[in-house]
Structure 1
Amino acid sequence: MGLGDIRYEDIIAATDEFRRLGRDDFLQTYGFGRAMSYELVLDGLRYDSKAIVGVAHGYATDDFLRPKDFSGGAATVARCLRELGFVVENGEATTLSRTGLLERLRTLKVSRGPGSPAPSRHQPLTLLWAIAREADERPRMTPWPRFRDEVGPLLVEFGLSNAKATPEYPFWHLRGSGLWEVHGIPAESAKKMPMMSILDAHHPRAGFTEEAAALLGDPVARLDAIATICETYLEDVDLQALFERIGMDGYTTAGSLLNLAEDEGSGAGPAPRRDTTRSVIVRDVSLARKVKELEDDRCQICGTALRYLDRPYSQAAHIRGLGKPHHGPDELQNLLCLCANCHVLFDGLEIYVDADGLVRGARNTREPRPLRRAPAHPINDAHLGYHRDLCRINARRPTTG
């Protein structure tokens, strides 16, 4: 069965339906599997080429082809698309990797306002907001009304001072990053950015593609993405305030500091109490004892050997914090033996261990000194790198006091 009846506009109609339904629903509706090799690349997005051509044939002739009706590959589907002026690439060679994710984040097509050399913050802020949802294990796709109500005020608070808060722009135009998709826009309204009335009427959903979301489900890749966005686009933003605003305040510590609340009582009489229900992480106390034993209860950073009630006193500190959002492992390779002072500084991201094993101040306020390591105490350098990235992100936060 020939493909010669397919026109340019039929391919566009098929890609519009692909975006509107989403990849999985589109493929299931027409009985296709994911592309094993060739993909159509259009406006930064990738499409399963054989499925697109089969559906486009239906738009052209009312005969929607099924996979068994025609063969795919360079001589058929890829040739048809290229002759119509489309770009076709080998999908096996272009699967999104962590490196590819970070490169796409660095090269967002952000606009610049008249008279302002600074890039717009709309897309970067929206991506951080979406990453916060991913870290909190919330649904990948967000309906337009919720997106508008949450992202709109965020753009007002942290966007450029001369920029308008237009959440509809990142909602739609982030598709150009290849990391974002929008579902629920009628095909006839998806040829250009829909008007607000269309968004309000149809309540479309937007969010990371499944591939991007899968990568961001890894805490290490997620931290790399956060650092890339902040360092590329948000140099002058108060990141601590931003993180607290979008629910990413877990990234302002290494994960173990307690936030002690101010006194809530009137100051007279017994302190008030309240009932709570908590879910707590169960730590392996034998690992804490082991790291203290290996390091002889001496702080690996400052060398202090404390005694309390005539007994050695030290603390086991996780390098990459347990629980959300860091999800570090409870293992010996993720533990340091520290004194109470250095533990607070380490968890508070005021000090870190560089790639050469030197302890440095995050604000360049102290002389570097080697991290002590007992020969029998293994330390995973990847965990130290994760903690180092956290310190790098937070190094610009304002001091208090």
Structure 2
Amino acid sequence: MGLGDIQYDDILAAAEEFRRLGRDNFLQTYGFGRARSYELVLDGMRYDSKAIAGVAHGHATGDFLTAGDFSGGAATVARRLRDLGFVVETGETPPNRATLLERLRKLKVSRGPGHPAPSRHQPLSLLWAISRAADERPRMTPWPRFREEVGPLLVEFGLPNAKATPEYPFWHLRGSGLWEVQGVPAELTDAMPKLSLLDAHRPRAGFKEEFADLLLDPVVRLDAIATLCETYLQDVDRQALFARTGLAGYTTAGGLANLPEDVNDDVGTDDPARATGPAPRRDTNRSVIVRDAALARKVKALEGDRCQVCDTTLRHLNRPYSQAAHIRGLGSPHHGPDELPNLLCLCANCHVLFDGLEIYVDPDGLVRGTRDGRASRPLRRAPAHPIDEAHLAYHRNLCHINDHKPPAG
């Protein structure tokens, strides 16, 4: 499914059907609610932009989309409509980053008689949903899949001896104002439906559109992850948690594309004896990020090939050697920009430490260690080398959520 399949005439066909059926019948027929933020304006009428896009996709491909089928939110739809030459206007003011983080801090989590600590069911479910946003998967998930994927997380990372009940966060997260459940008959929504009813109706749940839109921004997404971890999951092994929730990219500043080669390469031989001949090879197809080599050369020239952290100047093949390191990684899930203010000139050792979240630059410009008592030292900056403080803050946030170690035992 892609919004790029939708063309101008498909939008006109959907709008014509909207007018013929009337708004309420149109939305009910195709499984949409009223637009909260973006409306298509055409010939003096206003249309719910996402519903129009979903029906237009059906006219284009034969696949009619419902509200939960979109990987992007309403803002993504608005961009596509504008690209096609249509006018899209905002209605209600959408929530902002501060609203999202405030609601995450104030989840209505339960506390059982044997567990004075807040339940982790809702925070863990939200982390799992955020991982879906990072992967650009549909925001709404059917109950059977939610139970299958979230249930084991609650067993592994929930409070000790707490019963894993994925149906509770699936339903009760609605109280946060961040979450919605679709597909349960209205007469059954006054109280939590029984498991048999969830199994029978197979409803879907996920972040509301306006919050799903916010989570498409990598910076906001990292803030949301940090808020959940620091508020509810302080005693959880973050590296293990991120690996299990699909957020492994947040354990390195470089993202998944820059993990060490031996992490994902299992090629080898069962014979422990010494191998003979050249190392084996295999053919692969890879999608790689294209970096601007001129920018890398520029940052090295500006800093004289000296590491900005430790002042080391390495030599290789009788030449100065340094590496251009991105502060906010280019790969998923960070999606940092390939620009000079997002680059540092580092030696190979400090590059590994920086990408591995072992060192960071504090707000005062001092390089500090995240896990040891290493002496701080100022980050050297050439006068003509601009560095964006927002990228340094993003990297600090990554270090902060990864430096916590759960207590032994």
TM-score (structure 2 length as normaliser): 0.75
Counting only pairs closer than 5 Å after superposition, residues 262-341 of structure 1 correspond to structure 2 as 264-265=268-269, 266-267=271-272, 268-270=275-277, 271-341=279-349
Q: Distance in 1 between matches of 2:243 and 2:322?
A: 31
Q: Distance in 1 between matches of 2:347 and 2:24?
A: 55
Which residue of 347, 363, 375 maps to 1:367?
375
Q: Which residue of 1 aligns with 2:227?
A: 228
Q: Which moved more, 1:362-371 or 1:223-232?
A: 362-371
Asked if the contact 2:234/2:406 (under 8 Å) is kept, the reply is: no
Q: Distance in 2 between matches of 1:182 and 1:311?
A: 61
Aligned length: 322
Give 1:217's aligned amino acid: L
**Local SS of the residue matching 1:382:** helix
Asked if the contact 2:236/2:406 (under 8 Å) is kept, the reply is: no
Q: Which runs of 5+ in 2 are unaligned?
A: 1-22, 38-90
**Local SS of the residue matching 2:262:** coil
Which residue of 360, 364, 381 maps to 2:389?
381
Q: Distance in 2 between matches of 1:35 and 1:159?
A: 35
| Distance of aligned partners of 1:245 and 1:352 in 2 relative to their CA distance in 1, 3 Å threshold | same
Give 1:317's aligned amino acid: A
Asked if the contact 1:215/1:221 (under 8 Å) is kept, the reply is: yes
Describe the superposition over 1:113-162 as per-residue Cα deviations: whole angstroms up to 9, x where unpaired. 11321100000000000000110111110001100100011101110112
Describe the superposition over 1:186-207 as per-residue Cα deviations: whole angstroms up to 9, x where unpaired. 1221111110001101110000
Q: Distance in 1 between matches of 2:406 and 2:367?
A: 22
Q: Does residue 345 in structure 1 map to residue 341 in structure 2?
A: no
Q: Which residue of 2 aligns with 1:71?
A: none
Q: Distance in 1 between matches of 2:360 and 2:215?
A: 24
Counting only pairs closer than 5 Å after superposition, residues 134-145 of structure 1 correspond to structure 2 as 134-145=133-144
Q: Distance in 2 between matches of 1:204 and 1:393?
A: 33
| Distance of aligned partners of 1:203 and 1:337 in 2 relative to their CA distance in 1, 3 Å threshold | same
Describe the superposition over 1:312-367 as per-residue Cα deviations: whole angstroms up to 9, x where unpaired. 00000000001210000000110000000000000000000000100000124211
Q: Percent identity?
A: 73
**Local SS of the residue matching 2:147:** helix
| Distance of aligned partners of 1:230 and 1:25 in 2 relative to their CA distance in 1, 3 Å threshold | farther
Over alpha carbons, which structure has the higher Rg?
1
Post-superposition offset of 1:96: 1.3
Q: Which residue of 2 aligns with 1:130?
A: 129
Post-superposition offset of 1:259: 4.0
| Distance of aligned partners of 1:154 and 1:347 in 2 relative to their CA distance in 1, 3 Å threshold | same
Q: Which runs of 5+ in 1 are unaligned?
A: 1-23, 37-90
| Distance of aligned partners of 1:26 and 1:249 in 2 relative to their CA distance in 1, 3 Å threshold | farther
Counting only pairs closer than 5 Å after superposition, residues 185-204 of structure 1 correspond to structure 2 as 185-204=184-203
Q: Which residue of 1 aligns with 2:42?
A: none
Describe the superposition over 1:184-227 as per-residue Cα deviations: whole angstroms up to 9, x where unpaired. 00122111111000110111000000000000000000000000
Q: Distance in 2 between matches of 1:257 and 1:204?
A: 37
Q: Which residue of 2 aligns with 1:242?
A: 241
Q: Distance in 2 between matches of 1:382 and 1:154?
A: 33
TM-score (structure 1 length as normaliser): 0.76
Asked if the contact 2:101/2:227 (under 8 Å) is kept, the reply is: yes
**Local SS of the residue matching 1:182:** strand
Post-superposition offset of 1:273: 2.8
